[in-house]
Amino acid sequence: MTRAFDLIGIDGTSSGWVASMGSSKNKCLSTIIFSENLDSLLSEYPDSVVVIDMPIKLNKRKYLRQCDVLAKRYLGKNFQSSIFIPPLEKVLKCATYSEANMLSRQIVGKGLSKQSWHLKNKISEVQGLSKLSIKMYEGHPECSFKMIKSEPLKAKKKSVLGIFERLDLLKKEGLDPLSTSLKLENNSTIKIDDILDSMVLFLTALRIVEGNHLCLEKTGVSNGDDTGKIFI
């Protein structure tokens, strides 16, 4: 049976995931849904190309992933703060922030940010699925918005100007949340920027299928570490 949706862009919220879903055949965004569980969301669409705003490949021994360094450089100094440093692979298994922070210092000489720790469960959820056969790619919404505009954005995404700026960019690409089927269950944890981020990652998934994407990654010998990639 042919699936109606083969492109999915996903952004995390405090209580789950927002997914923008559509077809590569007609390049159309059809629906935006909310799911508490990533596994149950993706199990219905095993053959889809998925782009998610969450680290997939974690480092083992190196503090910085080269893909994050390149993403910061791509965004420019005014938007670099949207790129966070994810935890090391071993650190993700720690039970408390204190334990994780200490282990990070032991391995790389630097601690773990609270932002990274608060995303621990989300990253773990993605890690569990990354070992399966799902075609899942790591993306970054701010990088994708910049690619669409071909120049730096004017405002931060949570500001009123930033929301309108990003919404205008999506509309120019033929995407409008108000003309899309919304199945968000009146969830108060979902913010407008979560929806816009998932929509732009849907466009990234489309570029991957069409071969028009950009991949930020370390070049040369990796020795099994620093294999993260960010797709734009």
CATH of the domain at 43: 3.30.420
**Residue numbers of the domain that contains 15:** 7-57+131-216
Provide the pLDDT confidence category of residue 214 given band limits of 50, 70 and 90.
very high
Asked whether residue 72 is assigned to any structural domain, the reply reads yes
Report the distance separating Cα 14 and Cα 12, nearest Å. Answer: 7
pLDDT (0 to 100) of residue 221: 61
Task: Report if residue 187 sits inside a domain.
Answer: yes
pLDDT value of residue 32: 95
* Same structural domain, 52 and 125: no
Question: What's the whole-number average pLDDT of the chain?
Answer: 92
DSSP-derived pairing of the beta strands 215-217 and 135-138 = unpaired
pLDDT tens by residue, 103-140: 999 999 999 999 999 999 999 999 888 666 789 999 99
Mean pLDDT across the stretch 50-68? 95
- Shared domain for 121 and 155, answered yes or no, is no
Would residue 208 count as lying in a domain?
yes
Kindly report the pTM of this predicted structure: 0.94
Instruction: List, for residues 63-102, the tens digit of each pLDDT value.
Output: 999 999 999 999 998 898 899 999 999 999 999 999 999 9
105 and 23 together in one domain? no
Q: Which of 141, 26, 28, 4 shows the shortest CA–CA distance to 82?
A: 141
**Residue 3 confidence (pLDDT):** 55
CB-CB neighbours of 130 under 10 Å? 16
232: in domain: no
Q: Considering 108, 130, 152, which residue would you say is the last residue of a domain?
A: 130
Residue 182: the pLDDT is: 87
Residue 223 located in a structural domain: no
Output the pLDDT for position 110: 94
Is residue 124 in some structural domain?
yes
Q: Are 117 and 150 found together in one domain? A: no
Residue 4 has pLDDT above 80, yes or no: no
Asked, for residue 44, whether it belongs to a domain, the answer is yes
Task: Give the residue from 130, 150, 175 where a domain finishes.
Answer: 130
pLDDT-based confidence at 222, cuts 50/70/90?
low
% of the chain residues with pLDDT over 70: 96
105 and 196, same domain (yes or no)? no
Q: Exposed (0-12), middle (13-18) or buried (19+): which is 172, by Cβ within 10 Å?
A: exposed
Q: Pick the residue with more confidence: 132 or 20? A: 20
pLDDT of residue 188: 77
Residues 165 and 175 in one domain: yes
The one-character DSSP state at 139 is B
Q: Based on the domain organization, do 124 and 137 belong to the same domain?
A: no
Q: End of a domain among 106, 130, 154? A: 130
Domain tally, the chain: 2
Q: Look at residue 176 and tell me if it is in a domain.
A: yes
Query: Does the pLDDT value for residue 212 go beyond 80?
Result: yes
Q: What is the pLDDT of residue 1?
A: 34
| 181-183 and 7-12 strand pairing | unpaired
pLDDT at 178: 83
The residue-averaged pLDDT of 191-215 equals 97
